[in-house]
Amino acid sequence: MQSFRRLLGYLGNYRGLVALAIACNILTAVFTVVSIPIFQPFFNLLFEQTEPVTTAPASIDSLADLEQYGGYLVTEWITERGREQALLYVCALILLSFLLKNLFRYLALFFMSPVRNGVIRDLRNELYTHLLHLPLGYFTEERKGSLLSRITADVQEVESSILNVLEAIFREPFIIIGSLAFMIIVSPSLTLFVFGLMIFTGVVIGGIGKRLKRSSGEVQETLGEIVSRTEESLGGLRIIKSFGAEDHQARRFAELNDRYRHRLIRLLWRRDLSSPLTEFLGIATVALLLLYGSREVFAGTMEAGTFIAFIFAFYMVIDPAKNFSKAWYNVQKGLGALERVEAVLDVQNPLLTPVAGGAAGAVHSREKPTSGIKFHDVGFSYTPDGTPVLQHLDLEIPTGKVLALAGASGGGKSTIADLLPRFYDPTSGYITLDGRDLRDFPLEELRSRFGIVSQEAILFNDTIYDNIVFGMRDVTPAQVEEAARVANAHDFIVATPEGYRTNIGDRGNKLSGGQRQRLTIARAVLRDPDILILDEATSALDSESERLVQEALQRLMQGRTALVIAHRLSTIQNADEIVVLDRGRVIERGTHGELLERGGAYRKLVELQEV
């Protein structure tokens, strides 16, 4: 029910179109049902069993009055124009009723098309936006391929399995009810067979539908694994080729793909069972109706034309019932995909959850920091029962000063950098900026104070200009060019084929490592942040590129508070303070010269790099 409520919420954005579609579906049902009694005078005329009706009813207040009026018209037509002409009129009415039925059926589809595609657009937009706002911790637990599958295959499955059959859900019940009403009036005893069929079909379809929903979830989950495996292989293609592991990866993929095939086959077997099963049950009931009804015709208790019209009415129930059962199967199949989408949409962002003195009472303030950043007995682990990454950490980064973090890998340096813009929150303790807990700041405002240059240059498949301007508004080309000059990037940019409008390819693969890094520095310069986080920004570069990037970083850090993480200790010698970490604890702190004189862990690190 939760899934349907969410879907109805999206449909609410298209109330007008949905109302028109429902109205057209109702009119389709009306003209479908109206076509049934029209066949009765046709068959009676054909079999020459029409009894003359010489008087018209005073008013049409019931079905009997309507039948009397129809008989009166037929009698008049036969008297004035003859039996063949009367048959022609009846055939014309039948054609007209079917013309209107199909016209409104098309209009219902016409109005539902923008609704279906609009709902899918809204659902996909919400899912994508929600993913962007989830904390980084969520993505360490979820496979990227699974998330890609949900935003592509699962969302599309919702459209094809649920929204694509909405017109059947709106239309078929009206046709079934109208046809059954005619059948009950004509012969209640014969109609019992129909109820028996519907009850039996409902039980069978309900049982198989539950399995279908479960199978759909398994199929979509396996498809997510396929997407994940493909994305993982494409990302690690160099390693796969260098280790000659193409066949190994191909075998693993083939096993996964074969599992998907088997699950999909079982799913389709169950889904495709609905239509033939319903049709067989309908034909079996028709056979019984023919046996039972023919006896009533032979006994004279029912006219042949009325009986054939009854059979036609029952046929009009079978087709909608078959469509409705197929729609129900598809809905069950689609619900499995929708639940996978909802599993992501229902994930709450703990960073937005109010905490004591936290975001609930956040105050906007964009003044420059005055007293800097302080870590107060901070502890952190990535999972509740995981190994602590930081333990009882006390640090201070005064405004305008540069604090450098050194130490072996796994010491917690990058984690400290991630805590500042609140990619994560401390497990214990707290961090303040100008004496205020970071959780007191609105998240967007807090992050606007930071400029981050990481070891991996994160760029997008867009132009150089748009990558520098990324996420910023009201920026002029002159400001972009100035930022590029500060970052030592302007010269290589103007040398590209289209200058600042050159597309740099996926993840900037058309540029060298140094060029990519200088673009990220230009992006940070343009942002003009209060606090810089430099996470091993030069560790993957050659000497010439490192020199250019280091010059750009020195310009960027002038007058700013900075946290610098470096494996190459030569790049942090001029820091105001260097903190050496080991397993989440501070083991040494001081300037470069002070730490060398002590002859401790820092000196050993320096000596190892000088060898």
Q: Find out whether 437 and 357 touch, Cβ atoms under 8 Å.
A: yes
What average pLDDT does range 240-248 have in this prediction?
75
Domains of the chain, first to last:
2-347 (1.20.1560.10), 367-610 (3.40.50.300)
Mean pLDDT confidence for 404-421: 88
Q: What is the mean pLDDT of residues 535-542?
A: 66
DSSP string, 524-576: HHHH--SEEEEESTTTTS-HHHHHHHHHHHHHHHTTSEEEEE-SSGGGGTT-S
| Closest of 86, 7, 5 to residue 42, by C-alpha | 86
Q: Which residue has the tokens 């600042």?
A: 500
Q: What residue has token string 């060029």?
A: 515
- What is the Cβ-side half-sphere exposure of residue 369, based on CA atoms within 13 angstroms? 29
CA 220 to chain centre: 13
What are the respective helix, strand and coil percentages of the chain, to the nearest 5? 70, 10, 25
Task: Give long-range contacts, CB 8 A cutoff, 24+ apart: 568-575.
Answer: 568/538, 568/539, 568/609, 569/406, 569/602, 569/605, 569/606, 569/609, 570/609, 571/538, 572/404, 572/406, 574/402, 575/402, 575/403, 575/404
Over the stretch 551-565, which tens digit does the pLDDT of each residue have? Answer: 777 777 777 888 988
Query: Is the pLDDT score of 103 beyond 90?
Result: yes
Distances, alpha carbon 178 to alpha carbons 34, 35, 40, 289, in Å: 9, 11, 16, 19
Bridge-based pairing of strands 436-437 and 428-433 is: antiparallel
* Distance, first Cα to last Cα, the chain: 67
Kindly report, residue by residue over 442-489, the tens digit of the pLDDT: 888 888 888 888 877 888 888 999 989 988 888 899 999 988 888 888
- Check: CB of residue 420 under 8 Å from CB of residue 380: no
- Of the chain, the percentage scoring pLDDT greater than 70 comes to 78
- Looking at residue 350, the DSSP 8-state letter turns out to be G
CA-CA distance, 530 to 372, in Å (whole number)?
10
Q: Is the pLDDT of residue 415 over 50?
A: yes
pLDDT at position 575 is 86
Query: Contact 214/271 with Cβ under 8 angstroms?
Result: no
436-437 and 531-535 as β-strands: parallel, antiparallel, unpaired?
A: unpaired
Tens digits of residue pLDDT in 278-318: 667 667 766 767 777 777 777 777 767 677 777 777 777 76
Greater confidence (188 vs 463) lies with 463
Query: Which range among 39-48, 304-313, 592-601 has the greatest average pLDDT?
Result: 592-601
Rounded to 10 deg, the angle between the 166-186 and 83-133 helix axes is: 140
User: Tell me, what's the pLDDT at 429?
Assistant: 92
* pLDDT at res. 332: 73
Q: Do the beta carbons of residue 387 and residue 546 sit within 8 Å?
A: no
- Name the range with the highest mean pLDDT among 52-56, 426-430, 604-608: 426-430
CA distance linking residue 577 with residue 305, whole number of Å = 101
Beta strands of 344-491 (E only): which ranges?
373-380, 390-397, 402-407, 428-433, 436-437, 450-454
| Per-residue pLDDT at 178 exceeds 50 | yes
- Calculate the average pLDDT of the chain: 78
The whole-angstrom distance between residue 530's C-alpha and the CA centroid of its chain comes to: 36
Q: Rounded distance, CA 95 to CA 98, Å?
A: 5
- Distance separating alpha carbons of residues 607 and 611, to the nearest angstrom: 6
Which of these, 428, 442, 422, 437, lies nearest to 357 by C-alpha position? Answer: 437
Of 179-188, 232-241, 441-450, where does mean pLDDT reach its minimum?
232-241
Tens-digit pLDDT profile for residues 344-398 = 888 887 776 544 444 444 444 556 667 789 999 999 998 888 788 999 999 999 9
Residue 410 falls in which region: left (phi positive, over 0), alpha (psi -120 to 50) or beta = left
Is the confidence at residue 56, as pLDDT, over 70? no
